């Protein structure tokens, strides 16, 4: 929508007829804890360090002592001083949910203290709890993660003065996090490694980059670094509904040019130019997909292909368009690209003819199609009729050229490109008028384009109005995607003579209209689990390209944001950003998997092949409790090692998640490495935290070359 508001290679499956993964719940590096996590017993535990300030601290005090032989004596020497203990391995709520310790007020007056925790060692103090330590006696303090506001994790504990002045000495003993009892859920996953469902294509790892962010944001080092590290492979350009108003040459020149499409409604002086898009693609290592302005002419679009992909030495003539504008030669527009600092062709191979043209407004649509337009339309494009969209309408200078004419002109410049046509996820029948099928738009496009339809694009936003429960959102993908894709396939069978063109999702998110997301669900952990599951379902159903909306967007007045990153907040990475570093490591093919757990309400799983010696398992735990999994691989192994990547949230409403146990990792994610798993034989037991997405790689020994016989060399 306007939101400013293949390749198949059959894998050789060696030595594995079937792969079995039996599961019963998942964890990061070890089984679900059965013992408490001690912070201080008679000494400070390994992994914890003293970060106190404004206080002198003795970790070997022998009187008073609550139990054992020693306690901590903390003497506040200045106002707001604190006993502060930090760990490099943050505490996770699904492992240890409750903090408990004993405190003694010493002599003199009762000590007035304040307890905080922090998600990182330098993070803000959160979960304030004021208490009094009585003199001469021990008191127990107990606080849960919920009491602290459900932080994503705890990396530091502060027990601080709250009077603003020195108070003397208090004592602390038996600091520990109590073990969280394990869930009773068990599940079994069976993966048939020889049953390849579909390739997992790099184009499934896509997003959209809108022009309205502007050149300064495109050049921002943090934005570029976090995009490069995201795992994304493809960016759709130049941005939703704006694509239908983006005159590429006017935008590139910084002012509206005569005889060509203008650069939007006064955008030319500030909007991102085609050159800025090229520079961003080069800086981040992304491939590009461009949405052509359908309100222009086919030769104007051909000149854009020349700008992106042409050679300065190419003297082929593009020629004069139906409006009388001369588009000269391919080399002329390649030279304009070179003048902008990009000597090499960009090689954009994926193109789309307009954005959501089915939603053309009646005031801008052709007279013959205006009666088909829906009342809630939003696009300023020229037809509401899928037949006209494909074949064009009118004659002479007033003619509107359709998909087939654009395709011919653009492929004259570069025959290797693919031009996708705009479809709908509910194709309807050609006789439909109005309604959610947009007057049978999809079926008309399929019928009119026939065998020349190279790719069919849809924008299946799952909701306009969100359901009352987040659990309903998590259950959506299992029913939604099969329903959508079955409808599209049926339309191709009926109206396309049975030919199934590739189906691409070029926009997707939880909510179609951000104004309806008053609870900001698109910025919360629920959207990360929803996106991870939707990617898996779309792949299973045969989608060949998937670009989420969008990389960064701009915040709605209700506080929500579509973006993987928030451009108004230092390019903060939303929970769903971290879905892509996991899926980018899934592998080259998805293989069949069955599970005894309910994928809609409990845990959904997807299995893949990374290479001949590595299998992957991606699991989405939708439960508020951990789940233990025993992974068995009798047909694939013996196992010699494994690796785990993980996203985990404290709740579905959390706006922060941890990636490999780290909250807000470095731009390149280098300080959040995956966990190496110690596995051997044919099984391993792990645990999935609550509200998490986990990717496992499980490895068997690589195939060895057969021994070579020694053959003497005979010289003649």
Residues 6+ apart with CB under 8 A from 616: 585, 586, 587, 607, 608, 609, 610, 695, 696, 697, 698
Instruction: Compute the distance between CA of residue 418 and CA of residue 452 in angstroms, rounded to an integer.
Output: 11
Distances in Å between the Cα of 260 and the Cα atoms of 299, 301, 338 are 10, 11, 21
Alpha carbon distance 351, 290 (integer Å):
5
CA–CA separation, 551 vs 567, rounded Å? 9
9 pLDDT band, cuts 50/70/90, is very low
Residue 13 has pLDDT above 50, yes or no: no
CB 608 within 8 A of CB 636: no
> What are the structural domains of the chain?
19-28+186-195+588-699 (2.60.40.1180), 37-179 (2.60.120.260), 201-583 (3.20.20.80)
Q: How far apart are CA 122 and CA 669, in angstroms?
A: 18
- pLDDT tens digits for 587-611? 999 988 888 888 999 999 999 999 9
Q: Residue 591: what are its φ and ψ, rounded to 5°?
A: -115, 165
**Can you give the pLDDT at residue 407?**
98
Contact 102, 133 (CB under 8 A): no
Could you tell me if 103 and 133 are in contact, meaning their C-beta atoms sit under 8 angstroms apart? yes
Cross-strand partners of 630: 685
Share of the chain above pLDDT 90, in %: 80
φ, ψ for residue 235, nearest 5 deg: -125, 130
pLDDT above 50 (res 7): no
Q: Say how far apart CA 72 and CA 375 lie, in whole Å.
A: 72
Whether residue 375 has pLDDT greater than 70: yes
The stretch 654-676 carries a mean pLDDT of 95
Which is higher by pLDDT, 633 or 163? 163
Query: What's the CA gap between 410 and 457, in Å, rounded?
Result: 18
Residue 546 or residue 688, greater confidence: 546
Helix (H, G, I), strand (E, B) or coil at 62: coil
SS3 42: coil
What's the Rg (C-alpha) of the chain? 30
Beta bridge partners of 594: 190
Backbone φ and ψ for 475, nearest 5 degrees, come out as -85, -15
Bigger pLDDT: 350 vs 20: 350
Residue 282's H or E segment, with its range, is helix 274-284
**Residue 20: pLDDT over 50:** no
Whether the per-residue pLDDT at 31 is higher than 50: the answer is: no
User: What is the pLDDT confidence band of residue 704, given thresholds at 50, 70 and 90?
Assistant: low
Model confidence band, residue 34 (pLDDT cutoffs 50, 70, 90): low
Alpha-carbon distances, residue 247 vs 76, 214, 257, 393 (angstroms) = 67, 16, 9, 21
DSSP track, 199-223: E--GGGSEEE--GGG-HHHHT-HHH
The mean per-residue pLDDT over the stretch 701-714 comes to 61
The band of 706, judged by pLDDT with boundaries at 50, 70 and 90, is low
| Residue 183: pLDDT over 60 | no
- The mean-pLDDT minimum among 101-115, 334-348, 624-638, 683-697 falls in 624-638
Q: Which of 85-99, 223-237, 498-512 has the lowest mean pLDDT?
A: 85-99
Q: What's the Cα-to-Cα distance from 537 to each of 204, 227, 544, 590, 605, rounded to whole Å?
A: 12, 24, 12, 11, 10
Torsions phi, psi for 249 (to 5 deg)? -75, -40
Instruction: Report pLDDT for 554.
Output: 95
pLDDT, average across residues 60-74 = 96
Lowest model confidence (mean pLDDT) among 299-313, 443-457, 540-554, 593-607: 593-607
Beta pairing class for 456-458 and 503-505: parallel
**Separation between Cα atoms, residue 217 and residue 198, nearest integer Å:** 37
Mean per-residue pLDDT of the chain: 91
The answer to whether 134 touches 105, Cβ cutoff 8 Å, is yes
Closest C-alpha among 154, 195, 116 to residue 609:
195
Q: Are 479 and 430 in contact (CB under 8 A)?
A: no
Show the DSSP H helices in 515-650 as ranges. Answer: 525-540, 579-583
Among the residue ranges 23-32, 98-107, 213-222, the one predicted with the least confidence is 23-32
> Does position 181 have pLDDT exceeding 50, yes or no?
yes
Scanning the structure block, which residue is given the tokens 């069919």?
456
Run of H or E residues at 603:
strand 603-611
Q: What is the pLDDT of residues 192-208, one digit of tens each?
A: 877 899 999 999 999 99
pLDDT at residue number 680: 84
- Strand extents, DSSP E, 162-286: 168-179, 189-199, 206-208, 234-237
User: What is the spatial distance between Cα 214 and Cα 474, in angstroms, rounded to a whole number?
Assistant: 34
């Amino acid at each position: 929508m306007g939101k400013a508001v293949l390749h198949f290679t059959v894998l050789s499956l060696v030595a594995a007829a079937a792969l079995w993964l039996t599961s019963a719940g998942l964890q990061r590096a070890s089984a679900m804890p059965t013992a408490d996590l001690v912070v201080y017993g008679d000494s400070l535990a390994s992994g914890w360090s003293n970060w106190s300030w404004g206080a002198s601290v003795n970790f070997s005090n022998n009187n008073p002592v609550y139990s054992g032989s020693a306690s901590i004596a903390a003497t506040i020497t200045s106002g707001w001083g604190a006993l502060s203990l930090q760990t490099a391995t943050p505490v996770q709520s699904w492992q240890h949910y409750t903090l408990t310790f004993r405190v003694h007020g010493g002599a003199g007056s009762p000590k007035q203290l304040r307890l905080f925790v922090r998600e990182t060692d330098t993070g803000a103090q959160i979960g304030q709890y004021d208490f009094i330590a009585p003199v001469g006696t021990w008191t127990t303090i107990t606080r849960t993660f919920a009491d602290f506001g459900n932080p994503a994790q705890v990396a530091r504990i502060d027990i601080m003065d709250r009077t603003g002045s020195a108070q003397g000495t208090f004592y602390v003993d038996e600091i520990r996090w109590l073990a969280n009892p394990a869930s009773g859920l068990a599940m079994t996953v069976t993966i048939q490694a020889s049953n390849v469902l579909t390739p997992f294509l790099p184009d499934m790892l896509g997003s959209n980059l809108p022009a309205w962010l502007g050149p300064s944001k495109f050049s921002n080092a943090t934005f570029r670094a976090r995009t490069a590290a995201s795992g994304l492979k493809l960016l759709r350009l130049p941005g939703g509904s704006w694509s239908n108003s983006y005159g590429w040459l006017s935008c590139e020149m910084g002012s509206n040019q005569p005889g060509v499409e203008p650069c939007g409604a006064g955008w030319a002086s500030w909007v991102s130019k085609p050159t800025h898009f090229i520079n961003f693609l080069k800086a981040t290592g992304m491939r590009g997909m461009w949405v052509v302005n359908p309100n222009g002419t086919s030769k104007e679009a051909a000149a854009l292909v020349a700008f992106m992909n042409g050679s300065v030495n190419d003297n082929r003539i593009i020629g004069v368009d139906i409006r009388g504008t001369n588009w000269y030669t391919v080399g002329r527009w390649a030279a304009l690209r070179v003048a902008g600092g990009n000597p090499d062709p960009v090689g954009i191979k994926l193109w789309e003819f307009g954005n959501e043209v089915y939603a053309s407004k009646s005031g801008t649509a052709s007279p013959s199609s205006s009666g088909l337009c829906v009342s809630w339309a939003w696009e300023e494009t020229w037809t509401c009729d899928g037949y006209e969209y494909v074949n064009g309408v009118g004659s002479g200078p007033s003619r509107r050229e359709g998909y087939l004419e654009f395709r011919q002109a653009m492929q004259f410049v570069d025959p290797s490109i693919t031009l996708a046509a705009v479809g709908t996820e509910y194709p309807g029948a050609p006789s439909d008028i109005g309604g959610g099928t947009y007057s049978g738009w999809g079926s008309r496009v399929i019928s009119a384009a026939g065998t020349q339809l190279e790719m069919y694009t849809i924008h299946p936003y799952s909701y306009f109005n969100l359901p009352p429960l987040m659990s309903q959102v998590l259950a959506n993908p299992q029913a939604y995607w099969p329903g959508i894709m079955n409808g599209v396939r049926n339309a191709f069978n009926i109206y396309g003579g049975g030919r199934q063109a590739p189906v691409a999702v070029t926009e997707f998110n939880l909510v179609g209209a951000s104004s309806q997301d008053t609870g900001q669900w698109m910025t919360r952990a629920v959207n990360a689990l929803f996106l991870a599951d939707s990617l898996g379902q779309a792949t299973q159903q045969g989608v060949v390209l998937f670009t989420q909306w969008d990389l960064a967007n701009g915040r709605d007045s209700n506080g929500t944001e579509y973006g993987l990153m928030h451009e108004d907040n230092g390019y903060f990475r939303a929970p769903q950003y971290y879905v892509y570093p996991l899926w980018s490591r899934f592998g080259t093919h998805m293989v069949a998997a069955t599970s005894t757990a309910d994928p809609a309400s409990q845990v959904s799983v997807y299995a893949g092949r990374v290479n001949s010696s590595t299998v992957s398992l991606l699991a989405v735990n939708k439960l508020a409790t951990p789940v233990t999994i025993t992974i068995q691989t009798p047909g694939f192994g013996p196992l010699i090692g494994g690796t785990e990547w993980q996203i985990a949230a404290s709740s579905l409403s959390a706006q922060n998640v941890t990636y490999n146990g780290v909250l807000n990792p470095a731009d390149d994610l280098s300080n959040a490495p995956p966990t190496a798993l110690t596995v051997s034989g044919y099984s391993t037991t792990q645990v999935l935290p609550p509200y998490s997405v986990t990717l496992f790689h499980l490895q068997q020994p690589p195939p060895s070359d057969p021994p070579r016989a020694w053959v003497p060399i005979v010289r003649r």
